[in-house]
Amino acid sequence: MSAHPTYLTDASDTVFQHLLDDWAEAIVANDAERIGAFASPEWQLVDTGGIIPLKKFLDVVGSGDLTHETMSFEVLSVQVYDHTAVVVAHGRNTGHWQGQAFSADEWATDFFVWQDDRWQCTLSALTPRRL
């Protein structure tokens, strides 16, 4: 991804699909350092439990309180505005929170910024998917 984001066209769906696939792989590896590399330091996760800052998320992964066995994303929409991108995806994952199994089927909305010659996520909002 050496191209300036202004030059991304239809390939942006593919670029962000690969990016989310790589991020999911880091999450399934339960590797806090790799996970953090995809996010800006001010990243936040918004879900039904509230707002979780990057440090707290990485701390629970590092402690083993949160683990993931599976994670997948299907990119549905990418909107690029100069140095900002909004990505909407259908996500599914399974794992354990403090020893209790969970599974999730949700819509993920990720906000990315182009900085340091790469896309970094600044905010992820999760919405449970209703069938």
The residue ranges of every structural domain in the chain are: 5-128
Angstrom distance (rounded) from CA 33 to CA 50 = 23
The pLDDT of residue 1? 45
DSSP string across 32-44? HHHHHTTEEEEEE
94-120 pLDDT per residue, tens? 999 999 999 999 999 999 999 988 999
pLDDT beneath 50: ranges in the chain: 1-2, 4-7, 10
Going by C-alpha positions, the residue among 125, 129, 131 that lies closest to residue 111 is 125
CATH of domain 5-128: 3.10.450.50
Single pTM value for the model: 0.89
Angstrom distance (rounded) from CA 131 to CA 121 = 28
